[in-house]
Structure 1
Amino acid sequence: MAAPVLTAPGCAAWRDGKRYMWLTAVMVPLLAVVGYGLWHRTGLGVHWWITPLFVFVLVPLLDLTSPADPVNPPEEICPALEEDRYYRRCTYLYLPLAAVGLVLGAVAWSGGHLTPLGRLGAVVTVGTVTGVGITTAHELGHKRGPLERWLARLMLAPTAYGHFLVEHNRGHHVRVATPRDPASARLGEGFWRFWPRTVLGGLRSAWDLESQRLRLRGGRVCSPRNEVLLGWLLTAALFGSLAAVLGPSVLVFLVAQAIVGITLLEGVNYIEHYGLARARTPSGRYEAVTPRHSWNSDAVISNLALYQLQRHSDHHANPTRRYQALRSFEEFPQLPAGYATLLLAAYLPPLWFRLMDHRVLAHYRGDLGLANVQPARRAALEARCRRAATVRSSASS
Structure 2
Amino acid sequence: MTTANADKQVPVTGEWRDRKRYLWLFGLVAPTAVFTATVGVWLFGRLEWNAVAPLWWWIGPILVYVLLPILDRFFGPDGQNPPDEVMEQLENDKYYRYCTYAYIPFQFASLVFACYLWSAENLSWLGVDGGLGPTSKIGLAITVGVMGGIGINTAHELGHKKDSLERWLSKVTLAQTFYGHFYIEHNRGHHVRVATPEDPASSKFGETFWAFLPRSVWGSLTSSWTLEKARLDRASKRTWTIHNDVLNAWLMSVVLFGVLIALFGPVVIPFLVIQAVYGFSLLETVNYLEHYGLLRQRTPRGRYERAAPEHSWNSDHIVTNIFLYHLQRHSDHHANPTRRYQILRSMDGAPNLPSGYASMISLAYFPPLWRRVMDHRVLDHYDGDITRVNIAPRKRDRVLAQYGAT
Q: TM-score, normalised by structure 1?
A: 0.92
User: What does 1:161-310 correspond to in 2, within 5 Å?
Assistant: 161-310=179-328
Q: Match of 1:97?
A: 106
Pick closer, same or farther for the CA change 1:210–1:40 going to 2, 3 Å: farther
Deviations, residues 171-207 of structure 1 (Å, cap 9, x unaligned): 0000000011000000000001000000000000000
The answer on 1:55 being equivalent to 2:57 is no
Which of 22, 25, 32 is 1:23 aligned to?
Answer: 25
Q: Match of 1:8?
A: none
Q: Match of 2:76?
A: 67
Which of 16, 32, 35 is 2:34 aligned to?
Answer: 32
Pick closer, same or farther for the CA change 1:40–1:107 going to 2, 3 Å: farther
Deviations, residues 337-380 of structure 1 (Å, cap 9, x unaligned): 10001000011111111110110011111111101001122233
RMSD: 1.6
Q: Match of 1:357?
A: 375
Q: Partners in 2 of 1:379 and 1:140 — Cα distance?
A: 41
Consecutive unaligned residues in structure 2, runs of 5 or more: 1-12, 122-130
**Number of aligned pairs?**
378
Equivalent position amino acid for 1:76 in 2:
E
Contact 2:72 2:317 in 1 (8 A): yes
Contact 2:160 2:337 in 1 (8 A): yes
Equivalent position amino acid for 2:232 in 1:
L
Consecutive unaligned residues in structure 1, runs of 5 or more: 1-10, 388-397
Q: Match of 1:6?
A: none
Percent identity for Structure 1 against Structure 2? 52
Q: Indicate the larger mover: 77-86 or 116-125.
A: 116-125
Q: Partners in 1 of 2:35 and 2:61 — Cα distance?
A: 13
Q: Match of 1:393?
A: none
Equivalent position amino acid for 2:216 in 1:
T
Contact 1:45 1:115 in 2 (8 A): no
Contact 2:314 2:350 in 1 (8 A): yes
Q: Match of 2:173?
A: 155
Contact 2:309 2:348 in 1 (8 A): no
Contact 2:119 2:264 in 1 (8 A): yes
Deviations, residues 92-133 of structure 1 (Å, cap 9, x unaligned): 011111111111211111225221220221111000000000
Q: Partners in 1 of 2:300 and 2:14 — Cα distance?
A: 45
Equivalent position amino acid for 2:314 in 1:
N
Q: Partners in 1 of 2:151 and 2:375 — Cα distance?
A: 29
Contact 2:151 2:174 in 1 (8 A): yes
Which of 336, 341, 352 is 1:318 aligned to?
Answer: 336
Runs of 4+ in 1 over 3 A off after TM superposition: 37-44
Q: Indicate the larger mover: 369-378 or 125-134.
A: 369-378
Q: Match of 1:81?
A: 90
Contact 1:63 1:338 in 2 (8 A): yes
Q: Partners in 1 of 2:293 and 2:399 — Cα distance?
A: 12
Q: Match of 2:161?
A: 143
Equivalent position amino acid for 1:66 in 2:
F
Contact 1:302 1:338 in 2 (8 A): yes
Equivalent position amino acid for 1:71 in 2:
Q
Q: Partners in 2 of 1:70 and 1:106 — Cα distance?
A: 41
Q: Partners in 2 of 1:147 and 1:298 — Cα distance?
A: 30
Q: Match of 2:389?
A: 371
Contact 2:206 2:392 in 1 (8 A): yes
Contact 1:36 1:104 in 2 (8 A): no
Deviations, residues 39-88 of structure 1 (Å, cap 9, x unaligned): 46748432201232122211110101213113111112101101000000
Contact 2:138 2:271 in 1 (8 A): no
Q: TM-score, normalised by structure 2?
A: 0.90
Q: Indicate the larger mover: 69-78 or 111-120.
A: 111-120
Contact 1:35 1:51 in 2 (8 A): no
Task: Give, in angstroms, the shift of residue 12 of structure 1.
Answer: 4.5
Q: Partners in 2 of 1:157 and 1:36 — Cα distance?
A: 24
Equivalent position amino acid for 2:149 in 1:
G
Contact 1:191 1:346 in 2 (8 A): yes
Deviations, residues 311-359 of structure 1 (Å, cap 9, x unaligned): 0000000000000000112421110010001000011111111110110
Q: Match of 1:134?
A: 152
Q: Partners in 1 of 2:74 and 2:247 — Cα distance?
A: 45
Equivalent position amino acid for 2:370 in 1:
W
Equivalent position amino acid for 1:238 in 2:
L
Q: Partners in 2 of 1:206 and 1:329 — Cα distance?
A: 30
